[in-house]
Structure 1
Amino acid sequence: RKCAHAPVSCVYLWIYPSSHLYSALTFLLGLLPAAKANQGPEKTASGGDEDQRGWWFSDVQARSFNAQQECESSLGLEESIETVKTAVKELGPFDGILGFSQGAALVAMLCALQEQKLEADFNFRFAILVAGFCSVCSQHRRFYEGPAITIPSLHVFGQDDRVIPEEMSRDLLPAFDGAQILVHPGGHFVPAASSHRQTYQDFLKKFE
């Protein structure tokens, strides 16, 4: 989707399509409503009943996802990458990409594909990853074994996040060269206080 009132456009991955996240994203970046991912439910530590979606399953048999569940293979990732490629072709070009939680993990993978020149359709100038992490699925190691990603990135995570603990988000930082971080004292959400908004704005100004 394209930003409605911003000088840059943005593909963003909608993993938690709750009203809270929608309000935060709209407030921060002036984003239009996003199409939901079609890959099935994502498990959270909170056990809430929000309309949650995912980009791949870590438990193939149960068709569920847990960011801390180690697995040899997953289900749905390649289809999700194709979904993003289709969106880029049909709705792009875009300057940047934003993802939340499992969506941020997917953003890191897409950036790795771009860095390794494996996907000609991806030409993102920046990435914003909120509550991101490295996938612990063995099948996904290839995304972290290449050169450091040089796409400018902003990594946002909460010190009290019980779904994606802070250390998991920090483990993703070495995959990016010169990663910028925004740490907030809260949990698993997109921070939208005035000081946080200023950080987003300052980051995006580089790409005007």
Structure 2
Amino acid sequence: MKFLCLHGYQQSAAIMQSETPFLKHIFEHALGEEVRLYYPSGPFPSTPTASNEPTYAWWPENSSSTDIHTFRYLSDILDEEGPFDGIIGFSQGGSVGSLIAALLERPKFARPANFTTRHGPLQLVISYSGYHEDDERLQKYYTQKIKTPIFHFISSTDPVMAEERCFRLVRRCEDPDDKVVVYTGSGFHRVPTTKITSQALSRFLVEVFG
């Protein structure tokens, strides 16, 4: 099985991979088979870290173009590196992953013109601190509720992402029942590593892939 892993804003594939090595173990233990996690970096350079490590974003900053390159970029990844069983996304990556799941449910005429992938619908999305995007160009993609099962991990103590914005994404899902875990985090904006969140993820994986 193969899953696409999308990092948060001002992060990178290398940063997310270094912070989530435990995910592969959880997935393989729950599913009973080998799992591959594919980590790409976003298409837009962002502010480097204090140690001058490059970081990226999934959406362009200060752009008025209606042709959002993100969709073309991810369309190519889906075709060239997929197929993927699902997406794991953190923060901005959770937002993007949820929108990609929504678009893959739609017929091609209802997608962005540059989202030309041949990839089929996903089986799930795991969203860590994922949220509803405010960009006006993206609002039309939230009009239909998302059918793909999305499991939401929301930190009540996240210093960066407010609970309410995460719950706005939850409300755009067709069946959010038993698919939301609100936890008390460590006061940092990152993928949780607690026993409770790990057990919840395992149960969800078994439920979907059973």
Q: TM-score, normalised by structure 2?
A: 0.76
Unaligned runs of 5+ in 1: 1-7, 61-72
Amino acid at match of 1:40: P
1:49–1:163 CA distance, 2 compared to 1 (3 A): farther
The counterpart of 1:78, out of the listed 68, 71, 78, is: 68
Describe how 1:35-54 pairs up with structure 2 within 5 A. Answer: 35-41=40-46, 51-54=54-57
Aligned to 1:207: 209
| Residue correspondences, number | 184
Aligned to 1:67: none
Aligned to 1:127: 125
How far apart, in 2, do the equivalents of 1:145 and 1:42 lie? 32
CA contact (8 A) 1:74 1:137 kept: no
Amino acid at match of 2:106: Q
Aligned to 1:14: 7
SS in 2 for 1:128: strand
TM-superposed CA distance for 1:197, in Å, is: 0.9
TM-superposed CA distance for 1:49, in Å, is: 7.2
TM-superposed CA distance for 1:78, in Å, is: 2.9
RMSD over aligned Cα, in angstroms?
2.7
The counterpart of 1:102, out of the listed 92, 95, 118, is: 92
TM-superposed CA distance for 1:136, in Å, is: 0.9
Amino acid at match of 1:116: R
How far apart, in 2, do the equivalents of 1:101 and 1:94 lie? 20
Amino acid at match of 2:138: H
Aligned to 1:25: 20
SS in 2 for 1:171: helix
Amino acid at match of 2:43: N
Unaligned runs of 5+ in 2: 26-35, 109-116
Runs of 4+ in 1 over 6 A off after TM superposition: 47-50
How far apart, in 2, do the equivalents of 1:132 and 1:74 lie? 24
Q: TM-score, normalised by structure 1?
A: 0.76
Amino acid at match of 1:89: D
1:49–1:162 CA distance, 2 compared to 1 (3 A): farther
TM-superposed CA distance for 1:165, in Å, is: 0.9
The counterpart of 2:168, out of the listed 167, 171, 184, is: 171
Aligned to 1:150: 147
How far apart, in 1, do the equivalents of 2:51 and 2:168 lie? 26
| Seq. identity, % | 24
How far apart, in 1, do the equivalents of 2:143 and 2:37 lie? 35
How far apart, in 2, do the equivalents of 1:200 and 1:162 lie? 23
